[in-house]
Structure 1
Amino acid sequence: MQPRLPKKPPILRLPPKSNIDLMISKAAELAAIAVGIVAVVFALDAAEFVLAPVTTAIVIGLMLGPVATRLERHGVPATVSAGAVVILFLVILAVAATALAAPLGTWMNRAPQIWQELQIHLSQLREPLGTLQDIRDQLRTAVGDGGVTVSVDESSTVESVATLAPAIIGQVLLFLASLYFFVATRYQTRHSILQVCVSRKLRWRVAHIFRDVERSVSRYLLSISIINVGLGFAVSIAMLAIGMPSPALWGALAGLLNFVVYLGPAVMAVILFAVGLTQFDTLGGSLLPPLVYLAINLVEAQFVTPHVIGRAMTMNPFVVILSIAFWIWIWGPLGGFIAIPVLLVLYSVAANIIPGIPWMPEEHTATLRRVDLRNIRR
């Protein structure tokens, strides 16, 4: 006699969700995502003192990482190569500061005079501005003046500097320490993260993310740095040719501002127009410096940069503007510098997590796929 098998438990079939239930479920998921995004934004803002220098150090470390790699291939220890990278970065900053200190100090001393000359040149706008002032006074009279009192903080500049100096020094030291240890331990950090990955497929994807991030960020920053140096020389020669004083200053400033795409050239054009108003008597002469600069920048943006870094590194301009606006809003000018590298990191992560979507052009993806993974396995 065969033993009786236990009866299988009955299968409970839940009724299908209605459209309202599905909408509520999707709305709850979207609300959770929105709350998470808001929390991340507030966390970035609140932790600016720590995250801003550390993130900048990582970006600079990715840019100068190939220098440390070349030194290590010749038998230099990682600790020594990381110190060499930090010293190289400090030397570059010192050379740039020394070259710009004298002309920048001269123009800073002339700032009051430049402001007076700008007021004289812009005096023709007083009539429309006066009309707007009259309209504002009429609106205030009609609505009623609330009698708001504005108090002005009369704290001295010395007190402000004494308050800000420790914070600035702390951020600089944190940046240098982060840069050194990031470069010195980049392979150990990568190896430790790969060891955490439990499956082979996950380890493969994380390895590709590391590779893509390092290649794209270092290639972009090194190429853009070389291009901006060339742009600075071209702008200096052009400003010298049209009779602008301190041409080296404007060339260096053009190269620095060009790291912030779109917004940097616009700010540079406004600065050159303001300086041109003080140097030339006519409006046409005042427009000459910004027009010459914009022509050089147009050649750089449309021909030189695509030829050097390739169309593969081209990203959606709207996404680039959003990234720059967001990071400038969060971390100020420093955020404008790291906006594009952070966007490249997000592109690389998204391209490996969801490979079916063309986050980057196929040319860039194919180029990255041909890279050997030996450095990642170290």
Structure 2
Amino acid sequence: MTTMEPIEGSLAASDSPNVERSARPLSAKANIVCAVVLVLYAMYFARSLIIPVLISIFAYLTLRPLVRKGRRVGIPSSVAAALILGTSLILIVVPSYLVMEPARQTLEQMPKYVQNVKQRLGFVFDKLDALNSATSELAREEAEENPAETPVPVEIKQPDWNANLTFISGTGNVVSLIIVSGVLLYFLLAYGDQLIRSLLHALPDFRTKRNFFAAIDGVQDGLSLYLAHVSVINVILGVCVSSAMWLLGMPSPLLWGVMACVFNFVPVLGALAGAGLLFIVALLTFEPFYYALVITGTFLTLTTIEGQFITPTILGRSMQMNPVLVFIATVFWGWMWGLVGVLLSVPILIAIRMASEHYQCSQGIAEFLGGKRQLDRNAQTDDTPDPGVAIGLKVNPEG
């Protein structure tokens, strides 16, 4: 007994550190999960504040190279910012004005469209009505068998002024989003470099400053490359769709071209939504049923050629991402922030990927999203050329 007690004591003493070491990672992972959940909830709760700020930052990083080019030729940042915003406003307002009247006519005829679709696709709706009738009959029979458990229906009807107030409130939210995003974008384009220099002074050492500027440079290049190229590709796609709809005899071909251009900013889901709208309108416009399939197939063929061949060829392998991750990101941010989240899903994914490539702790995230190890090239001696120079700001090694 005397010889066993020291052995057991030593085993207990040797096991306790292992237990503590195994418990610490579990607690750390639990803390990380809780922190992520809290951050996501805060992003959902504060979406009305985060969304315009995020839109402005992404637009700033995309348009900032234009401000730098203007500064090189002697144009002040404030003047260049005003010129860029004015040009962008013209590019948005003019196409919107051209398609406003066809869009208004389409929306006014939407109830008639829905009724005509029910008539043309009566064989489908008849089966759905039969299924609903059978379900209602089954529920009525169960209610007659158990009358005591039958709930009393209560109908709450809101006054008409409440619906109008909801519409006004939604319109006000859109207008406030546009105003806040536009004003913040102007100040970022005009004075964003000063803000970055202020952040620079708060960083502790030269290596941290270099990684910070390299991350900003990567996000800026990634967003500029993606949004600029995709915008040009979508405009060309819109011209092709508009021409094809004109040749096929579709009404308001310019409207469908603009729709294809805007919807194509949303991967996969945008093309499917556009195909659905075209199918409904073509079904009501032309008598033969197959002609609606021809028009929808033409639209899907153009979007498939663009998505599978043209865009990957122009953007190259450096910007390719797994379609599964793109789809999951689109669904997730759409669930978080609605339509704006759907439009921001791919830029958010690109920003996370580009920023993760420049930090050791996030190299796994960058590789998972399709990136490559940039840190191996950046982690050299302090004589490495300063990445801050590439984005127009000189980093002082002395701090």
Is the shorter-chain TM-score for this pair beyond 0.5, marking a shared fold? yes
| Contact map agreement 1:118 1:278 (CA 8 A) in 2 | yes
Aligned partner letter, 2:152: G
Change (3 A) 1:16 1:364: closer
**Per the alignment, in what secondary structure is the counterpart of residue 340 of structure 2?**
helix
Change (3 A) 1:81 1:104: same
**Per the alignment, in what secondary structure is the counterpart of residue 149 of structure 1?**
coil
| Contact map agreement 1:280 1:286 (CA 8 A) in 2 | yes
Which runs of no fewer than 5 residues in structure 2 stay unpaired?
1-11, 144-149, 379-383, 395-399
| Contact map agreement 1:190 1:376 (CA 8 A) in 2 | no
Q: Describe the superposition over 1:271-316 as per-residue Cα deviations: whole angstroms up to 9, x where unpaired.
A: 1111111012232111112110110011111221112211210012
Residue number among 145, 153, 163 corresponding to 2:169 in the alignment? 163
Aligned partner letter, 1:217: L
Residue number among 257, 271, 280 corresponding to 1:274 in the alignment? 280
Residue number among 190, 203, 206 corresponding to 1:184 in the alignment? 190
The match for 2:393 is 377
Residue 161 of structure 1 deviates from its aligned partner by 3.6
Which runs of no fewer than 5 residues in structure 1 stay unpaired?
1-12
Residue number among 145, 154, 157 corresponding to 1:149 in the alignment? 154
| Contact map agreement 1:211 1:376 (CA 8 A) in 2 | no
Residue 322 of structure 1 deviates from its aligned partner by 1.6
The match for 1:7 is none
**Per the alignment, in what secondary structure is the counterpart of residue 315 of structure 1?**
coil
| Contact map agreement 1:254 1:268 (CA 8 A) in 2 | yes
Aligned partner letter, 1:110: Q
**Per the alignment, in what secondary structure is the counterpart of residue 201 of structure 2?**
helix
Q: For residues 87 and 323 of structure 1, what CA distance do their matches in structure 2 show?
A: 32
The match for 2:204 is 198
Change (3 A) 1:24 1:143: farther
Q: For residues 140 and 323 of structure 1, what CA distance do their matches in structure 2 show?
A: 39
Change (3 A) 1:167 1:214: same
RMSD: 2.7
The match for 2:45 is 46
Q: Describe the superposition over 1:110-137 as per-residue Cα deviations: whole angstroms up to 9, x where unpaired.
A: 1122112111112112332133213322
Residue 62 of structure 1 deviates from its aligned partner by 2.1
User: Does 1:133 pair with 2:102?
Assistant: no
| Contact map agreement 2:354 2:371 (CA 8 A) in 1 | no
User: Does 1:72 pair with 2:71?
Assistant: yes
Q: For residues 371 and 229 of structure 1, what CA distance do their matches in structure 2 show?
A: 37
The match for 1:299 is 305
Q: For residues 267 and 168 of structure 1, what CA distance do their matches in structure 2 show?
A: 22
Aligned partner letter, 2:154: T
Aligned partner letter, 1:121: R
Aligned partner letter, 1:294: L
Q: For residues 377 and 112 of structure 2, what CA distance do their matches in structure 1 show?
A: 54
- What fraction of aligned residue pairs are identical, expressed as a percent? 25
The match for 2:339 is 333
| Contact map agreement 1:82 1:184 (CA 8 A) in 2 | yes
Q: For residues 270 and 155 of structure 2, what CA distance do their matches in structure 1 show?
A: 34
The match for 2:146 is none
Matches for 1:215-230 after TM superposition, within 5 Å: 215-230=221-236
Q: For residues 30 and 277 of structure 2, what CA distance do their matches in structure 1 show?
A: 44
User: Does 1:101 pair with 2:107?
Assistant: no
Change (3 A) 1:137 1:26: farther
| Contact map agreement 1:260 1:336 (CA 8 A) in 2 | yes
Q: For residues 203 and 128 of structure 2, what CA distance do their matches in structure 1 show?
A: 64
Residue 258 of structure 1 deviates from its aligned partner by 0.3
Aligned partner letter, 1:308: I
The match for 2:320 is 314
Moved more, 153-162 or 233-242: 153-162
Q: For residues 133 and 23 of structure 2, what CA distance do their matches in structure 1 show?
A: 53
Change (3 A) 1:58 1:106: same
Moved more, 93-102 or 291-300: 93-102
Residue 366 of structure 1 deviates from its aligned partner by 11
Change (3 A) 1:364 1:215: farther
Q: Describe the superposition over 1:206-225 as per-residue Cα deviations: whole angstroms up to 9, x where unpaired.
A: 11101000000011001000
Aligned partner letter, 2:275: A
Q: For residues 327 and 58 of structure 2, what CA distance do their matches in structure 1 show?
A: 19
**Per the alignment, in what secondary structure is the counterpart of residue 62 of structure 1?**
helix
